[in-house]
Amino acid sequence: MNLSNKAHLHNNLLSQIRYQLDVVEIHNYHLARLLCKVIPSSCPFETTVTVFGRILFQIPPLCKFNPLYEQVVGLRFKSLLYLVNECGEDVKKYC
């Protein structure tokens, strides 16, 4: 298998995983709560490195480099909506 075929296979697999995450529907209270706890509400990797009050460098939010970032955040959002709309739960604790 040459490099072009491997890249094509990788893109197809990634597209399939994205699609599968996009079509997931949340109908389970415990799953919704678990997803809201496990998936962070903001990217935890962004940081600024300072020494003696001077900024040396910044590390960008690495979540944007994750090819499944949008789908995972969407899954968390669906879970929050389920908890609010179907279960009447206050989701402030997950934000």
Ranges of each domain in the chain:
3-94
Strand ranges for 1-95 from DSSP E: 47-51, 54-59
**47 in helix, strand or coil?**
strand
Neighbours of 78 (CB within 10 A): 17
CB-hemisphere CA count at 13 Å for 64? 4
Q: Is the pLDDT of residue 4 over 70?
A: no
Predicted confidence (pLDDT) per residue in 13-22, tens digit: 889 999 999 9
- Cβ atoms of 80 and 37 within 8 Å: the answer is no
What percent of the chain stands above pLDDT 70?
Answer: 88
CA atoms of 71 and 63, how far apart (whole Å): 12
Q: What is the mean pLDDT of residues 81-89?
A: 95
Give CA 21 to chain center in angstroms.
Answer: 10
Instruction: Give the bridge partners for 47, in sequence order.
Output: 59
